[in-house]
Structure 1
């Protein structure tokens, strides 16, 4: 039994005429009649009574009619559902990202994705990497763009590094440069007032760790802010801050001074739960984000940003 045979059967049952049914089905009448006979032979009973040119359903035809209608309807429903999924006409992506990434490249990538797939709902949660991993573990997010390395006691996560970025020292352009050289050392921050992020922030931990490794405890002028607040505090002359280079884009009131000896780097990765396969829409966003990054010219990414091959790096709690 073939779906096309059932479709021809329904056309004849509706029109009660083989020729008109063939026209509706856009097939030659002999072909339609042949398929109906094949269906009758397979079922072992005639489906139509052809007495005196009147086409009526036989008892077997009456039994088959609602079943055939249901089969064809279910087939069309399945076809439309798959087409909608494949065509990305509906669905949602629940994405987590750190504030610096939301303020940087991610906004442009989300705009591109929304332009290509306007029917997909985008839900974005902005938080630190540890909080985002927790939300992933609870099933509240499909994907997260996080900072590596990350240690977590939650279920294992697949992480794929996508970018490596240098951290720079942000200062107000209205004030003198923080040093005479074109770059700074971590030890140059010893006597500088620093604007510090809130506790649990990836950048807070990396900055404090670098200072302590260099043998000093940094002097904090103000602490507890999110990314936008920290940058505004720096613009207002409250101190310096160690930030990703990407957040200084379109901020003419700030300058970025590279850190050298040692360079402070951070690795940006896409993460999802190892025990749950990402949804079709989440996978589509992942591919769109990678395509977006790969399409950026080197001059636009900047010298401080390096595109990485997104190979899975195992679980996040592997470090």
Structure 2
């Protein structure tokens, strides 16, 4: 089994097409196919179903893919670590974050890091917390900023708390406030909500809170990511429960009655690999940003870094 064979295998698995994979890898398609067949001989199993141009992974291929991705990613990490030995003025960091965090505090954090290390390339991948944990475990990310997860069942991953943020109800500024003062969760009964897609952390939190009060929430529309939900609320389709960090000045912000709703944001990373200097620099920059008062945290958001460092 050769490194290049694993790279070709991963490319075919991701593109589901031998010709497209060959173009991505900048190799002739017959050469790529020959290397895939050699890999199949080495592992003793067929890795792809090839039926009339429809390429799908076999069970053996599904088993090999996450292992191949880890090997490829860790090899890339090793190359980067060696290249960065001479100075910290260059490098590359692959950072994952949830859509709500990309809309909230993360841009300010990354802007501060970019000013300090302009030569380090930042690659941002936006997805849900569970998907980000999988990518981090497989080596596709160096760091991930995720929500409310202590990473159960994966000994390769570690995380530390960054901050706790309050969840609030938003409505258009042009509309009357949903209630006077703070809102009990029960006041969401019969109020149309703009709801996130399934698998979204905020959807699960909101639905579970409503069920805890004995009712099912009413959806005006569902299925959106953070940017879409904000625009739909602005258009007057309904209320939404969002982190206080994304509210800004466009919306009317209503807090929940104590104890309210909140969530913990955490920084996750691989514990079983030596991080390149650029990755360590970003990790330290994020912690420093929250620990030394640089961050202008909105009301209801509290740093957890100073107390734990």
TM-score (norm 1): 0.67
Q: Of 256, 260, 263, which aligns to 1:259? A: 256
Which whole-Å CA distance do the structure 2 matches of 1:271 and 1:161 have between them? 9
Which whole-Å CA distance do the structure 1 matches of 2:150 and 2:229 have between them? 23
Mapped contact 2:292–2:306 kept (Cα < 8 A) = no
Q: Does 1:309 align with 2:308?
A: no
**Shift in Å, 1:173:** 0.8
| 1:252-279 CA distance string (max 9 Å, x none) | 2x11111124410100010012222322
**Shift in Å, 1:295:** 3.5
* 1:35 match: none
SS of residue matched to 2:305:
coil
Which whole-Å CA distance do the structure 2 matches of 1:212 and 1:273 have between them? 35
Q: Does 1:273 align with 2:241?
A: no
5 Å-filtered alignment, 1:113-262, equals: 113-150=113-150, 152-180=152-180, 182-249=181-248, 251-252=249-250, 254-262=251-259
**Shift in Å, 1:185:** 0.9
| 1:74-96 CA distance string (max 9 Å, x none) | xxxxxxx9896464111111000
SS of residue matched to 1:112:
helix
Which whole-Å CA distance do the structure 2 matches of 1:285 and 1:215 have between them? 44
Moved over 3 A (4+): 81-87, 149-156, 295-298
* Structure 1: gaps (5+ residues): 1-80, 313-319
SS of residue matched to 1:301:
coil
Greater C-alpha Rg: 1
TM-score (norm 2): 0.69
* Structure 2: gaps (5+ residues): 1-80
Which whole-Å CA distance do the structure 1 matches of 2:275 and 2:261 have between them? 32
Which whole-Å CA distance do the structure 1 matches of 2:101 and 2:223 have between them? 19
Which whole-Å CA distance do the structure 1 matches of 2:110 and 2:177 have between them? 35
5 Å-filtered alignment, 1:32-111, equals: 85=85, 87-111=87-111
Which whole-Å CA distance do the structure 2 matches of 1:89 and 1:203 have between them? 38
**Shift in Å, 1:237:** 0.6
Mapped contact 1:161–1:310 kept (Cα < 8 A) = no
Mapped contact 1:130–1:152 kept (Cα < 8 A) = no
Mapped contact 2:290–2:305 kept (Cα < 8 A) = no
Matched residue count: 228
Mapped contact 1:164–1:307 kept (Cα < 8 A) = yes
Taking structure 1 as reference, are residues 141 and 310 closer, same or farther at Cα in structure 2, changes over 3 Å only?
A: farther
Taking structure 1 as reference, are residues 309 and 198 closer, same or farther at Cα in structure 2, changes over 3 Å only?
A: same
| 1:150-175 CA distance string (max 9 Å, x none) | 56554442110010111000111111
Which whole-Å CA distance do the structure 1 matches of 2:153 and 2:207 have between them? 23
